[in-house]
Amino acid sequence: MGKAPDRVYLDDAGAAPTLPEVAEALRNVPGGNPSSLHAEGRAARAALDAARDHLAAALNATRTEITFTASGTEAVNLAILGAAHRLPTQAAILTWAAEHQSVIAAARNLQGAGHAVTIGPTDHNATIDLDAIKSGVGLISIGLANNEVGTIQPVAEAIKRAHEIGALVHVDACAGPRWIDIPRGADLVSLSGHKLGAGRGGALFVRDGVRIDPQLHGGPQEWGRRAGREDVAAAVAIATAVTVSTRDRAARSTTAAPQSAELRETLEELGGRLTGGAKRLPNYATATFARRRGEDMLLALDMAGIAASSGSACASGSLDPSHVLLAMGLSLDEALGSLRLTTGYPTTDPEVTRARAILTAVLVRTPAHA
């Protein structure tokens, strides 16, 4: 994904621009079916195997622990639904109110099917309540970092507490792995290509010894965890993106932190209430504006040359408040007036300077609502 030279792209968390290393890796991906025995099929199989090995190495895993999916949402659903179906009927599934929609929806699906499900609370920064991890829980699903406000979660401690009571741990690492390490010890870890600069695909780490039920049925692909012809290009893309992210994580974070700090300063100067904790992803600048609407701000910024996003999502023609911001205790008015600015690998300091000037000009003249 490219951008016009006069625009500033500040929606990295929504869709990260494709990394140049990924674009290069995709130039010569074989087009054959990896299950075919002819030369073209063997070439596709070799490319798929190499991608699996590269991703496993980046995650300190083995090749049999890697399953490629079509998206991060599929990886999340495969982890939660697949693991839950193997649990004793009395074991509860635990997640938290500010987790990603795919996590909450999967948990609600299980609840509708008769499973015990607990949706734990979060504090005003979207940090999870670890005390919700208690006896009787069989599976927890925790985000590496919050998708909307960037708050980094206490994943290592959650893994420790969960394993002490014999529970499995799924880490939703769709947001954050380009910027911070994924703590060791999780039983399942989901990844999303479009948030990593891969542009496509997803992946799921399944620790050796953990059994999950497939959610797509058919052939024996992906170790029997996911049927269907493998998308070799998507596998190559996400494996390359994770490898590059692991290599460049520290340097990229060092660049992103001061850029987001400048943007946060501007948002606060313009009357925004900053959101997200002090311990957050280094590329996030988020705030809410009382008596303003996120949709109005986004459209005005887009017209002025800035691509941004809001904590609200358009659904059925109406603007719904963010469940994350409501879980954090914000009012309905504040939740509807959120703004999320996220920098990425290509973001330059001059772009941030230009963005600050545009934000000031646009938000000052964006009308407030009564």
* Catalytic machinery residues: 314
| Contacts (Cβ under 8 Å, ≥6 apart) of 168 | 83, 87, 138, 139, 140, 162, 187, 188, 210
Distance CA 206, CA 191 (A): 12
Distance CA 110, CA 95 (A): 12
> In the numeric block, which tokens belong to residue 83?
């693991």
Question: Minimal CA–CA distance to 182: which of 171, 193, 192?
Answer: 171
User: How do 92-96 and 117-120 pair as beta strands?
Assistant: parallel
Q: Assess contact for 70 and 198: CB atoms under 8 A.
A: no
> In the numeric block, which tokens belong to residue 143?
């985000």
* Amino acid letter, 54: H
Helix 232-269 with 349-365: angle, nearest 10 deg: 60
Question: Minimal CA–CA distance to 255: which of 170, 178, 315?
Answer: 178
Question: Minimal CA–CA distance to 286: which of 338, 242, 321, 354?
Answer: 338
Distance CA 289, CA 282 (A): 22
Distance CA 252, CA 365 (A): 34
> In the numeric block, which tokens belong to residue 9?
């792209």
Which residues are paired to 96 by β-bridges?
120
* Amino acid letter, 94: L
Distance CA 238, CA 174 (A): 12
